[in-house]
Amino acid sequence: MEEVIAIAIGVLAASGVWLILRPRTFQVVMGLCLLSYGVNLFIFSMGSLFIGKEPIIKDGIPQDLLNYTDPLPQALVLTAIVISFAMTALFLVVLLASRGLTGTDHVDGREPSE
């Protein structure tokens, strides 16, 4: 399972970085989205990956990390998802404002002179 998660994070981050370096604003937004997905998975995997462990405390099971999943990365991921989602929405607004003011979707606000 580690391999699958690692490859998924790697592919997401690589595509994200490639898109961020593209000259069109929409590609940059997509890149930031993919990068934040990769980062969120990364935070999640930092709590160590397990199958079949209890997420919520149950009676009769000793309360330690041997028997439960680590709840902290889940809380962190939740916060990170909300924040990155909000920031992406805000970036979209700025993207539209830039498109309206400059008439182009190039990140520098003008087409490169050929």
Partner 1 sequence: MSAMNQLIVAPILLPLITAALMLLLGEKRRPLKARINLVSSLLGLGISVVLLLWVHTQGQAGSIGVYLPGNWPAPFGIVLVVDRLAAMMLVLTGIIGVSALLFAMARWDSAGASFHALFQIQLMGLYGAFLTADLFNLFVFFEVLLAASYGLILHGSGRARVKAGLHYIAINLVASSLFLIGAAMLYGVTGTLNMADLAIKIPLVPEADRGLLHAGAAILAIAFLAKAGIWPLNFWLVPAYSAASAPVAALFAIMTKVGIYTVLRLWTLLFSGQAGASSFFGGEWLVYGGLATLGCAALSILAAQRLERMASLSILVSAGTLLAAIGFGQPALTAAALFYLVSSTLALCALFLLAELIERSRSVNEIPLDDDSDTLPPALELSQPPKGINLDDEQKAVVGQVIPWAMAFLGLSFIACALLVIGMPPLSGFIGKLNLISALLNPQGLGLATEQPLPATGWALLALLVLSGLASLIALARVGITRFWTPQERPSPVLRRLECLPIVALLSLCVLLSIQAEPLLRYTQDTASGLQDPQQYLSAVFATRPTPGPLAQAKPAEVQP
Tell which positions 71-100 bind partner 1, by CB under 8 A.
72-73, 76, 79-80, 83-84, 86-88, 90-91, 94-95, 97-98
Alpha-carbon distance of 66 to 7, in angstroms, equals: 26
Structure tokens that stand for 40 in this block: 């969120």
Per CB under 8 A, does 10 bind partner 1?
no
Helices (H), the chain: 2-20, 25-45, 71-102
Cβ 12 vs Cβ 35: under 8 Å: yes
Side chain identity, residue 37: Y
Q: Which is nearer to partner 1, 69 or 73 (CB)?
A: 73
Percentages helix, strand, coil for the chain, rounded to the nearest 5?
65, 5, 35
Q: Does 20 bind partner 1 (CB under 8 A)?
A: yes
Q: Is residue 12 helix, strand or coil?
A: helix
39 makes contact with partner 1 (CB under 8 A): yes
Applying CB under 8 A, among 42, 56, 60, 66 the residue interacting with partner 1 is 42
Residues that bind partner 1 (CB under 8 A): 20, 25, 28, 32, 35-36, 39, 42-43, 46-48, 63, 72-73, 76, 79-80, 83-84, 86-88, 90-91, 94-95, 97-98, 101-102, 107-109
